[in-house]
Amino acid sequence: MGSPMAGHISNAGYSLKVFNRTREKSELWSEEYSGEVVLSPVELAEGCDMVFLCVGNNQDVEEIVLGKNGVLEGLKAGAIIVDHTTTSSVLAQNMSVSSSKKGISFIDAPVSGGEVGAKEGTLTIMAGGDEGAFKSSLEVINLYSKFCKRRGKTLDQGS
């Protein structure tokens, strides 16, 4: 689902970087859309104001955000991570704590609508996290969703 979501961002004229652990998927994406393909999460995060994740499960999020050469190593204070993965509320809380230690906001924002919704830009998203960070990310989120609502300031309200 992440590829078509990133495609909507690219089509809107945003400058973006893309990373997929399966390099071939990133290369295929770059044949259709404009954006820089990078080799690691840290490279993806360097110089970015926002990072959007849409991966498989809790372990994937932990690896990409907290792992060696992870997103948190490359982001600057004031940046925002928006996680569209359906994960546990415990993981969302842990990611928020780890991010906030570096001055980074974490938004828990699982999606509903599947691959078709991602392609058509009609995903439904329930988010939890800081209101200011949510509002800052909403312009981009609205590119691939038909409905996005912040359910509260605590992360378990998105999951």
Query: What pTM did the predictor assign?
Result: 0.95
CATH number of the domain enclosing 89: 3.40.50.720
Has residue 36 been placed in a domain? no
Residue found by looking up tokens 């996005």 in the block: 148
Picking from 13, 16, 12, 25, the residue whose alpha carbon sits closest to that of residue 43 is: 16
Is 56's pLDDT higher than 60?
A: yes
Residue found by looking up tokens 């998105």 in the block: 158
Has residue 31 been placed in a domain? no
Has residue 149 been placed in a domain? yes
Has residue 33 been placed in a domain? no
Has residue 38 been placed in a domain? no
Q: What is the mean pLDDT of the chain?
A: 95
C-alpha dihedral sign at 134, 138, 141, 147: positive
Residue 87, domain extent: 47-157
How many distinct structural domains can be found in the chain?
A: 1
Instruction: Give the span between the Cα atoms of 45 and 65, in whole angstroms.
Output: 10
Has residue 77 been placed in a domain? yes
Has residue 54 been placed in a domain? yes
Has residue 114 been placed in a domain? yes
Give the residue, 154 or 50, on which the prediction is more confident: 50
Is 82's pLDDT higher than 90?
A: yes
Q: Are 42 and 72 in contact (CB under 8 A)?
A: no
Picking from 57, 103, 101, the residue whose alpha carbon sits closest to that of residue 83 is: 57
* Confidence band of 154 (pLDDT split at 50, 70, 90): low
